Amino acid sequence: MKLLAVETATEACSAALSIDGEVVEEFVVQPRQHSRLILPMIDRLMADAQLHPTQLDGLAFGAGPGAFTGVRIATGVIQGIAFGADLPVVPVSTLAAMSQQALDDFTYYDWVLSSIDARLGEVYWGVYHRHDQHGVELIGDEAVVDAAHVRCPDIEGVGVGSGWSGYKEPLMQRLEGKVLAVYDDYLPRAGVVAKLAVADFARAEPVEKVRPVYLRNNVAKKSLKL
């Protein structure tokens, strides 16, 4: 399978090409530069692999939640390629991608408390569990929530993502006894988005049906203009 993936929902910008399970990725951390960086990244990956978009089997993108502008960039880029090459698309949760990365890096953890700074005292929040067949499994729902009021089952897990950097104190107080370690510098990567998309390719959709995930109601309404 040949699949192209992008992820631009945070300060990190990345693109990845998965060919029969082998993943090549470009990744940089350059806030507010994603619109300038992402297309050249894609062009280099495709040129190095000597592929045209019509030779791909599908596309994937980090669908959010995350920075509104960043999520829009990934959505727009993938929509453009998908329409032009008539390709199906797999939207992948940005929180799920971070969780999968953590479980790949730390095999001794089974639970991930994934969080992205949503500003205004809030975090994008999701609790994920290791799942042998499908990578990671969301427990409950993803949400945008006050950092002091996140919900978590009675488990012990590792905290990852920028939400832990911005709101570590209220999160630790709320989750007392449930946090084994914190890695607040974790950023989502397109290579992991590609891995999850390939594993769940049966969920691929026609591009017309693909929608990003904003979680905030006032932002979700704007997505209709994409």
Provide the pLDDT for residue 135: 84
Structure confidence by residue, pLDDT tens digits, 75-132: 999 999 999 999 999 999 999 999 999 999 999 999 999 999 999 999 999 999 998 7
Which domains are seen in the chain, by residue range?
A: 2-93+188-225 (3.30.420.40), 95-183 (3.30.420.40)
The parts of the chain modelled with pLDDT lower than 70 are 133-134, 217-226
Rounded distance between C-alpha atoms, residue 26 and residue 9, angstroms = 15
Provide the pLDDT for residue 216: 76
